[in-house]
Amino acid sequence: MTLKLHDSKLGALVDFTPLVPGQVGIYVCGPTVQSSPHIGHLRSALVYDQLRRWFSFNGYTVTFIRNVTDIDDKILINSAESAAAGSPEPWWALAYRVELEFTAAYTAIGVLPPTYEPRATASIPEMQAIIQRLVDNGHAYVADDGTGDVYFDTASWADYGELTHQKLDDMAPATDSDSRGKRDVRDFALWKGHKEGEPETAAWVSPWGQGRPGWHIECSAMSTKYLGTQFDIHGGGLDLRFPHHENELAQSRAAGDAFANYWLHNGLVSIGSQKMSKSLGNSVFASELIASARPVVLRYYLGANHYRSTLEYHEGALEEADAAVSRIEGFLERGTRRLAGTRFAGTEELVVPEEFREAMDDDLAVPQAIAVIHETVRRGNAALDDEDLAEAASLLGQVFAMTDVLGINPLSPEWATGHDSGAERALGTLVERLVSDRETARKGRDFATADRIRDELGQAGISIEDTPTGAHWSLDG
RNA sequence: GGCGCCUUGGCGGAGUGGUUACGCAGCGGUCUGCAAAACCGUCUACACGGGUUCGAAUCCCGUAGGUGCCUCCA
């Protein structure tokens, strides 16, 4: 495996070399659990799930850490607003409720659970240790306004801006009102002193007084806690590049850690060529998507674009994805059916074609990898048309292997609805009976009856396909 | 002001210095009692203007339009 990745810090495609051969440590910035997951969260999680699966498929031992930020300004604000609205929800209850929503959404589209999913509130001591090191070595200071705030001293760190290739002097000054204790407007908070009116449960003891962590310090603490002071890959959404990742990098390196070797950033989701945002009211929530498409179709759609390009959500996108998935599914079912009972049944080798491997190794070129899948499907169908079962078995195995790697195998047990109920068996019995009646009618050249049965089934949402080996029925959509 | 990205055929969406992306949709055909599915064939391209080159949609410069970050954000 010679994987090339686009490193955001270098701005170039580079060969990936793990710190330890055969192992890879990946840290991905997870959500701030302040409100329900939307399409962008799903896309981001999916991108790193694809990367992780590709490493695993190639025999790597993957340590995949995706955090949950369960304490921040927005969570406290939303909690306070819930109280003002008459249905108070403590900040920690709100954060946990939303975290469960995220987990459910991730699970629905087949995002594998991380190796570990640390919460920010469980790593406060580690954050404080980094802050203390920064204060001790002069890269951070306690505000002299008595607030208990601690800031990172950007001017003291010559490399500040190295991730996003910006010079400190060129940056627009931050305009937030909390800058009174800062020596420079571009300094950012490592620790926020407890304020009047904020819940006591959101304050921790620290050398600088009661308070809570700033936004960026948690990721420096959690990534190095679980992956070491130097680790392989750090990923996240493009919108986190600045200031979040820039600040993470600055504070970790200033504290003496080597930090991430490779930086990956996934593209965002836009609606009508504009970034999705709450203020524009154009958010597409995970719950809406999950309600409007099969999970495997949703996963296919969200993962079919290249991870670094913007994903433009538009009307009809899911229908197109559904058509593509159905095509793959049709071949897998047809091939499996045809090979059943022959000496080729179960002989499929689960190998991926070389072109697929090359695509994935080229900065995770999933669009091309999917093109290989479709090409293999076409050849597989042609082999079945020609009754070349050896070839068909080989291609069938390849499609299973490729779709499994990407997590979009429509026949995978993970997509099973799980209710193989009596009702389902009863339906099967009844449909089989009607299909059998239709076959009898067709043999007697009573096509009026045969077509009537087909129409009736069609109205009930069941389609019939006649094949050389008999009629096959399936539920639509 | 600083740092980026995008502009491909009817739609979505890759890629590349000279050769079919792929999917959806359309058209013609094969198969079928008719369909469906499948297969075969096929039509619509590379924002604009320069430059480099034997050759650029692909590299460079510029123009236009769009868009992201610099403030919470996947």
Q: Per-residue pLDDT tens for A87-115?
A: 999 999 999 999 999 999 999 999 999 99
> Where do the structural domains in chain A lie, given as residue ranges?
13-266, 286-415, 422-475
User: Quick one: pLDDT at residue A202?
Assistant: 96
Q: Beta carbon of A327 within 7 Å of strand B?
A: yes
| pLDDT at residue A150 is higher than 60 | yes
Q: Beta carbon of A452 within 7 Å of strand B?
A: no
Q: Beta carbon of A174 within 7 Å of strand B?
A: yes
Q: Beta carbon of A171 within 7 Å of strand B?
A: yes
Number of DSSP helices (H) and strands (E) in chain A, helices first: 14, 15
User: Quick one: pLDDT at residue A179?
Assistant: 57
Distance CA A127, CA A122 (A): 10
The mean pLDDT value for A314-322 works out to 91
Distance CA A189, CA A215 (A): 8
Q: Beta carbon of A46 within 7 Å of strand B?
A: no
Q: Beta carbon of A475 within 7 Å of strand B?
A: no
Q: Beta carbon of A240 within 7 Å of strand B?
A: yes
Mean residue pLDDT across chain A = 93
Q: Beta carbon of A334 within 7 Å of strand B?
A: yes
CB A353 within 8 A of CB A376: yes
Is domain A286-415 in CATH 1.20.120.640, yes or no?
yes
User: Quick one: pLDDT at residue A370?
Assistant: 96
For the residues of A310-366, what is the DSSP string, one character each?
Answer: PEEE-TTHHHHHHHHHHHHHHHHHHHHHHHTTSTTTT-------HHHHHHHHBT--H
Coil, helix or strand at residue A41: helix
CB A176 within 8 A of CB A140: no
Residue/partner pairs of A353-360 with CB below 8 Å, 24 or more apart: A353/A398, A353/A402, A356/A398, A356/A402, A356/A405, A360/A3, A360/A54, A360/A405
Q: What is the ipTM of this complex?
A: 0.95
- Rounded CA–C1' distance between A133 and B21, in angstroms: 53
User: Quick one: pLDDT at residue A364?
Assistant: 95
Side-chain-side CA neighbours of A62 within 13 Å: the count stands at 24
Q: Residues A218-238: pLDDT tens digits?
A: 999 999 999 999 999 999 999
pLDDT band at A276 (very low <50, low <70, confident <90, very high): confident
pLDDT band at A419 (very low <50, low <70, confident <90, very high): low
Distance CA A352, CA A399 (A): 8
Q: Residues A30-67: pLDDT tens digits?
A: 999 999 999 999 999 999 999 999 999 999 999 999 99
Name residues whose C-beta falls within 8 Å of residue A76's C-beta, 6 or more positions apart in sequence. Answer: A91, A198, A199, A202
| Nearest nucleotide (C1') to alpha carbon of A317 | B12
With pLDDT > 70 as the criterion, what percentage of chain A qualifies? 97
Distance CA A138, CA A130 (A): 12
Which nucleotides on chain B have any atom < 7 A from a protein Cβ? Answer: 1-6, 11-15, 21-25, 32-40, 66-74
| pLDDT at residue A177 is higher than 70 | no
| Nearest nucleotide (C1') to alpha carbon of A242 | B69
Say whether the peptide bond before residue A243 is cis (omega within 30 degrees of 0): yes
| Nearest nucleotide (C1') to alpha carbon of A74 | B72
- Rounded CA–C1' distance between A67 and B74, in angstroms: 13
Residue A130's Cβ-count burial label (10 Å; 0-12, 13-18, 19+) is: buried
Q: Report the range of poorest mean pLDDT among A172-176, A423-427, A459-463.
A: A172-176
Global pTM value: 0.95
pLDDT band at A418 (very low <50, low <70, confident <90, very high): low
Sign of CA dihedral A212, A246, A229, A1: positive
| Nearest nucleotide (C1') to alpha carbon of A384 | B38
Which superfamily, per CATH, for A13-266? HUPs (3.40.50.620)
Query: Helix A217-227 vs helix A246-254: angle between axes, to the nearest 10 degrees?
Result: 60
Distance CA A114, CA A319 (A): 30
The mean pLDDT value for A265-280 works out to 84
Q: Beta carbon of A266 within 7 Å of strand B?
A: yes
